[in-house]
Chain A
Amino acid sequence: MTTNGGKENWVSGRRLKDLVQWQTVSGQPIVVHDVTLIPQSRALIVRLPRSLWVWNRPTAVRVEQHGQVKRLPISDLTRRSQLGLFAVGVAMGAIVGFVQFARSPRNP
């Protein structure tokens, strides 16, 4: 990390894609009995002048067994449920807002 030259030089020296990165990475194979697992994860890395933030989540596991390869996706049910509920809340808000607008006396 460059510290000479101040913040402006640091930012101008790097483009946005260097500041925010999405990386899909495969890890070291894990061998259990006769099964070989290759874990895959996706990481979001945000690099700011003197700070760093990393968010890494599992995406899938590649399974190799008896010469066959299959990919098992990993879904985050908790996150999906939260987003689903949030979407329901936003949709209900939009419906209520629309109904209120339609009922208002200014709108014949």
Chain B
Amino acid sequence: MIEEATNTYITRAPEREQQLASMLGRILSAAQPGAVYSEPVTKGAYTVITASEVSAGGGFGSGVGSTQPAPRQRETASDASQSPAQPVNSSGGGMGGGGGSSGRPVALIIIGTDGVRVRPVVDVTKVALAGVTVLGTVAMLLWRMRAPKKS
């Protein structure tokens, strides 16, 4: 039963790997400009297109393995049962994969009566977090510089 399942797995592994590889190929679609620029949204005289930074990644892995009993183990087994050694093989396989993607708006392209303008989108939270981190680091450095050395 186990051997049958393993054989089925082994024979179908290349097919499944091909499927996973084609799934990875779909991640490449994130490299197209269509993934970065949104569809135009029109409201009144203005049309807005969002430009975003996109990142996507994924990977998969698979493995098949089998073990054969060690010679010593075989001898022990044959001594204990006083019968010809039974081949005790164990085998198995597995496959897994994962992936993810993220996006962040970078700018808005506004098409209006006054022409085309590009307005940047600033993520205030990210900038503030970076600022707090830098301020903390600088404060620690200054405190360390002013503190008298123990000797």
Residues of A near any B CB (own CB < 8 A)? 1, 3, 23, 25-28, 30, 32-33, 35, 37, 39-41, 43, 45, 48, 50-58, 61, 63, 65, 72-79, 81-82, 85-86, 88-89, 92-93, 96, 99-100
Contact = CB atoms under 8 A, between A and B. Distances in A.
Interface residues of B, number: 55
B47 interface: yes
Contact of B40 (A26, A30, A48, A78): A30
A51 B24 contact: yes
Contacts of A73: 118
A25 B107 contact: no
Interface in B81-135: 104, 106-107, 109, 111, 115-116, 118, 120-123, 126-127, 130-131, 133-134
28 contacts: A1-B25, A3-B17, A3-B18, A27-B34, A27-B37, A28-B34, A33-B111, A37-B109, A39-B37, A39-B49, A45-B31, A50-B61, A52-B28, A53-B57, A56-B35, A56-B36, A58-B37, A58-B53, A58-B107, A61-B51, A61-B118, A73-B118, A74-B107, A76-B107, A77-B120, A77-B122, A96-B142, A100-B145
A74 B106 contact: yes
Interface of B: 14, 17-18, 21, 24-25, 27-28, 30-37, 40, 42, 47, 49, 51-61, 104, 106-107, 109, 111, 115-116, 118, 120-123, 126-127, 130-131, 133-134, 137-138, 141-142, 144-145
Nearest to B117: A72
B111 A81 contact: no
A52 B24 contact: yes
Given A1-B21, A96-B141, A53 B106 contact: no
A92 B33 CA distance: 39
Q: What are the nearest 9 A-B pairs in CB distance? A: A51-B59, A27-B33, A53-B57, A58-B51, A43-B31, A89-B134, A77-B120, A1-B21, A96-B141
Candidate in A32, A77, A93 with the most chain B CB atoms within 10 angstroms: A32
B53 A57 contact: yes
